[in-house]
A and B are shown apart, each in its own frame.
Chain A
Amino acid sequence: MSIKVAPVGHSRILSVGSYRPKRLVPNSEIVERIDSTDEWIQQRTGIETRRFAGDDETVISMAKAACEIALKRAKLTIADIDTVILATISYPFQAPSAATELINELGNPKAAAFDISAACAGFCYGVGMASDLVRTGTSTNVLVIGVEKLSDYTDPDDRATAFIFADGAGAVVIGKSDQPRIAQTIWGSDADSRDAILLSPSYLDFKKNPTKGVADLGWPNISQQGQTVFRWAVYQMSKAGIKAIEAAGITVDELGAFIPHQANIRIIETMAKEMKLPDSVLIADDIRTNGNTSAASVPLAMDQILQEHPELHGKLALLIGYGAGLVYAAQVVELPPRP
C-alpha cells in the first residue's frame, strides 16, 4: 500500500515589493546621544541614513504595503495566495502571529500563515521553506515577508547599536516554475555563540517584578558583541555562501548579484572578498541609506538593486541572511522577471 504525493516540481520568485518608512534619519540625528560623529558611523558601518517608522507605520502596515506591491508586480491578488510566512523579531505580541493579522488585513483570512523567528536570517529561512512547499505541492503561491520595526527595540543611548538598526518591510511571492529557479538552501546555526546578539531582559522579568518598570529593568533592546559577530559573519558566512553557490551547481562568475543581509558594509565587502566574487557581480549596499533592518534587509536590498539595475531581472543572485542565534541561511535564486 502506498500513499499519494504530488510530483516534485520547481519554484521561482515571481516578484518583490518593499516598503520604506517615511522618515529619513541622518547620522546627525543619532550622534549627539552617543557622543559620535557622522564620519565615525560611516567608516565603521557604511550607514549614512536610515528610516524610522512613525506611530502610524506598524509591523503589519509596513508588511501589508510591501505585499501589495509584490502581488501587483506578480499580477496576482491575495486570493491567489495560500501560504504566508512572515519573518520578524519586532512584532510586539507573542500570539496570535503577525502573519495571521497580516492575512486578515490583506483580505484572505483562510491562507496558512505563520511567523518565523530567525532574526536577520528570517527572510532567507522563509525563502527556503516557501520554495520547498511549492515544490512538493503543499502550497501554490507563497508570500514571504521580512519586516522589522527595530527602532522599538534599539537603545538610542547604546554606543554600539544606536546607529545600526532601522525599520522597513520587504516581500516576495514564490510560486511554481517550469525549471529550477531557486536552488537548495544552505542553513544552520552556531548556537554556542547565542549570547553574541541578544534582546534582553525577558518580558517575564516585568511580571516577576511588578513594582519595577522599564526605568529599573530596562527594555528588551538589541545588544551585540561587534567583534564576535563580525568575525563569524565574514569568515563563517562566506563559507556558507560558497556552499550555496556549489549547491546551485554554478560558479561565482555566473552570479549577477550578491544580496546579503545588510548588517554592515564592512562585513559585506570583506565577505565578498573572502568569496572571491569577481567585479562583474553587483553587490547590494542598501545599508548605506537604509541601515540594518534585520529580516527585512534582503528583500529591501533586492528591490533596491533591481530598481537601480533593471538588467538584473532574471539573473542569478546569491542571498544570505545571518544573525541572532547565531543562525544563517543562503541560497542562489533567479531574480524575479521584470514586472
Chain B
Amino acid sequence: MALAQADVLAGLKEIIEEVAGIPAATVEMDKNFTDDLDVDSLSMVEVVVAAEERFGVKIPDDSVTDLVTVGDAVNFIVNASK
C-alpha cells in the first residue's frame, strides 16, 4: 500500500534532523538539500539509507542524484512504496 505524502515528509524531517542536525521545522517540500539545508553528498547517503530502512523502499545510487529537493525524495519514496 502506498505511503501517504504527509507521513513520509514527517519521517524524513526526523531523519534529516538526526543525520544532519537540521531542525525538522526548517525541512519543507521545496527545500533544496544542498543549497537550503546544507546536506552534503555523503550526509545524503546517510539520509537515503535511513529512509530505506524506515519506509521499506529501495533508493538506488543512480536515483540519489535526482533527489534535489525534499519534495523529490518524498515523491520518490511514495512512488516506490506503491
Q: Contacts of A226 on B, CB cut-off 8 Å?
A: 41-42
Q: A225-B61, A228-B61, A231-B61 are in contact. Are A43 and B45 (CB under 8 A)?
A: no
Across the interface, name the chain A residue whose C-beta is closest to B19.
A270
Once the chains bind, are B46 and A270 in contact (CB under 8 Å)? yes
Once the chains bind, are B41 and A227 in contact (CB under 8 Å)? yes
Across the interface, name the chain B residue whose C-beta is closest to A264.
B42
Q: In the complex, which residues 3-61 of chain B have their Cβ closer than 8 Å to any Cβ of chain A?
A: 40-42, 44-46, 48-49, 61
Main secondary structure of the interface of B (DSSP, over half): helix
Once the chains bind, are A266 and B61 in contact (CB under 8 Å)? no
Once the chains bind, are B49 and A227 in contact (CB under 8 Å)? no
Name the distance in Å between B63's Cβ and chain A's nearest Cβ.
Answer: 11
Name the distance in Å between A237's Cβ and chain B's nearest Cβ.
Answer: 13
Interface residues on B, range: 10 to 19
The answer, yes or no, to whether A219 is at the interface (CB within 8 Å) is no
Across the interface, name the chain B residue whose C-beta is closest to A273.
B46
Interface residues on A, range: 10 to 19
- Separation of A44 and B42 alpha carbons in the complex (Å): 8
Q: In the complex, which residues 40-58 of chain A have their Cβ closer than 8 Å to any Cβ of chain B?
A: 43-44
Once the chains bind, are B64 and A227 in contact (CB under 8 Å)? yes
- Separation of A153 and B23 alpha carbons in the complex (Å): 42
Name the distance in Å between B42's Cβ and chain A's nearest Cβ.
Answer: 5
* B40 partner, pick from A44, A234, A235, beta carbons under 8 A: A44
Name the distance in Å between A21's Cβ and chain B's nearest Cβ.
Answer: 28
Name the distance in Å between A268's Cβ and chain B's nearest Cβ.
Answer: 12
Q: Contacts of B49 on A, CB cut-off 8 Å?
A: 231, 234-235
Q: In the complex, which residues 215-231 of chain A have their Cβ closer than 8 Å to any Cβ of chain B?
A: 225-228, 230-231
- Separation of A231 and B61 alpha carbons in the complex (Å): 9
Across the interface, name the chain A residue whose C-beta is closest to B64.
A227
Across the interface, name the chain A residue whose C-beta is closest to B44.
A227
Q: Contacts of B41 on A, CB cut-off 8 Å?
A: 226-227
Name the distance in Å between B53's Cβ and chain A's nearest Cβ.
Answer: 10
Residues of B in contact with A (beta carbons under 8 Å apart)? 40-42, 44-46, 48-49, 61, 64-65
Residues of A in contact with B (beta carbons under 8 Å apart)? 43-44, 225-228, 230-231, 234-235, 264, 266, 270
Nearest 8 A/B pairs, CB to CB: A228-B61, A231-B45, A230-B45, A266-B42, A230-B42, A227-B45, A227-B41, A227-B61
27 contacts between A and B (CB under 8 A): A43-B40, A44-B40, A44-B42, A225-B61, A226-B41, A226-B42, A227-B41, A227-B42, A227-B44, A227-B45, A227-B61, A227-B64, A227-B65, A228-B61, A230-B42, A230-B45, A231-B45, A231-B48, A231-B49, A231-B61, A234-B45, A234-B46, A234-B49, A235-B49, A264-B42, A266-B42, A270-B46
